[in-house]
Amino acid sequence: MHVIGAIIRYLLGLGYLIGGLMLLCAGGLALWAKNWKIGGASSAIGIVALLGSYESFSYAAPFLFWCIFILFILLAVAAALYVTEPDLGIVDRFKSPKRLLKEGKKEKAAVKLKKNGCLRDAGRVYEDLGWYTSAALCYEEAGDWGKVAELYLMIGENEDNGEYYLRKAREIFEEKLNEVEKAAQVLEKLADMEGWYWEDAAKDWEKAGNEKAAKRCWERALKYYQERVKEDDPVFLGDVANISERLGLMDDAVGAYKDFLKYCEEMVEKEEKGWLRHVVETNYALARITGDESFKAQGDKVLEDYKKYLDEVIKSEDYKQELLGEVKRWLTERVERRP
């Protein structure tokens, strides 16, 4: 037993020695950096560790040896408590949320409330603190999607880079709360930041049954895409043609479709065979609008090339038929293009 005890003491002494030297080095660096709090604490604990190393090897004062041993056990427990909940602290984690609120420690009270599963109460405290993202996360865990959307909308409207939060708010209104009108309103706010959101806003207004608002957004979307085309971005000619047709501007639609057809044919000539799809769609759209059968005949011809291209790049027959079905429907109606 004495041998085992001696081995344990020597191992402890070695651990104290290594730990003490490391703490003294860290403390010295912290003091050099004028971080008196960390430097002083590290240095003091390092000195105690070296003293523990001496007592472990010599066992000159058994009482002091056990005092140092117990001290380091308590320090280890305190460190573990701090690491597991650094925002709460060691002493405050034993206080009730009510007590923490009375002491004005709202942040710690919110952490404690969340830890206890009182998510809505924690959310309200975070709101009082002005920590709206943390509040939203609490309400989200509680399943209170209305509050989450409300907070994300507020954050998005008041932050310089609020686009992310507005997108989240729109997603919640549409997918979680089924409030399409509010989703459309959020999309209009997004459209003021990024013009391509006007199209999404128009579609949501259509879902909500508000044709007047939908038309207003389609007109804004048309203007946005026309500006993009003027910036030498002809890929948006298809959007200009599609939206013009939606708005009943048939002459403008035909002109834009013809320009887009020319662009698509140029892309095919550059070995971009995926553009064959758009060549077929645009020919069919022109046939549908103008009644000119020559566009249909040209579309049918290019469709055969498109089928060969699909045979080369796609293995799934079901997917091929789905794509071909979408292309052919352009003869009878507009079809939303895939991204």
Place of tokens 């830890």: 115
When divided into structural domains, the chain yields a total of 2
Sign of CA dihedral 203, 160, 107, 88: positive
In a domain, 313, yes or no: yes
Q: Is residue 165 part of a domain?
A: no
| pLDDT of residue 154 exceeding 50 | yes
Determine how many CB atoms are found less than 10 A away from the CB of residue 16: 24
Residue 170 forms part of a structural domain: no
Q: Using 50, 70 and 90 to split pLDDT, how confident is the model at 339?
A: very low
Please tell me whether the overall predicted TM-score, pTM, comes out greater than 0.75 for this model.
Answer: no
Q: Mean pLDDT lowest for which of 8-17, 85-94, 299-308?
A: 85-94
In a domain, 325, yes or no: yes
Environment class of 262 (CB within 10 Å of its CB; exposed 0-12, middle 13-18, buried 19+): middle
Q: Please indicate whether residue 256 or residue 52 has the higher confidence score (pLDDT).
A: 256
| C-alpha to C-alpha distance for 327 and 322, rounded to whole angstroms | 9
Dump pLDDT digits (tens) for 156-177: 988 777 899 999 999 999 999 9
pLDDT at 327 > cutoff 60: yes
Residue 61, pLDDT > 50, answer: yes
Q: Are 241 and 250 in contact (CB under 8 A)?
A: no
pLDDT at 91: 60
The token pair that represents 144 in the structure block: 């209170």
Highest mean pLDDT among 32-36, 71-75, 271-275: 271-275
| Domain end (from 25, 57, 84) | 84
- Mean pLDDT score, 256-263: 96
- Distance (Å, rounded) from C-alpha 141 to C-alpha 124? 13
Q: What confidence tier does 68 reach under pLDDT thresholds 50, 70, 90?
A: confident
Residue entry with tokens 């939206």:
243
Tokens found for residue 193: 């930041």
Asked whether residue 9 is assigned to any structural domain, the reply reads yes
For residue 324, the tally of other CB atoms under 10 A from its CB is: 16
107-123: average pLDDT: 82
pLDDT of residue 278: 96
Final residue of a structural domain among 84, 100, 133:
84
Q: Both tokens of residue 106?
A: 């709202």
* Per-residue model confidence as pLDDT tens digits over 177-228: 999 999 999 999 999 999 999 999 999 999 999 999 999 999 999 999 999 9
Q: How far apart are CA 170 and CA 165, in angstroms?
A: 9
Q: Is residue 154 part of a domain?
A: no
282-317 as b/e: b if 16+ CB within 10 A = bbbbbbbbeeeeebbebbeebbeebeebbeeeeeee
- Domain boundary residue among 66, 84, 102? 84
Q: Give the residue with greater pLDDT, 238 vs 64.
A: 238
Instruction: Using pLDDT thresholds of 50, 70 and 90, give the confidence band for residue 1.
Output: very low
Structure tokens at 284: 């069919």
The reply to whether 90 falls in a domain is no
Q: Which residue range is the domain that position 301 belongs to? A: 233-339
Query: What pLDDT is stored for residue 79 in this prediction?
Result: 64
Q: What is the mean pLDDT of the chain?
A: 86
**Residue with structure tokens 């806003």?**
201
Give residue 85's pLDDT: 61
Task: Name the burial class of residue 216, with classes exposed (0-12), middle (13-18) and buried (19+) by CB atoms within 10 angstroms of its CB.
Answer: middle
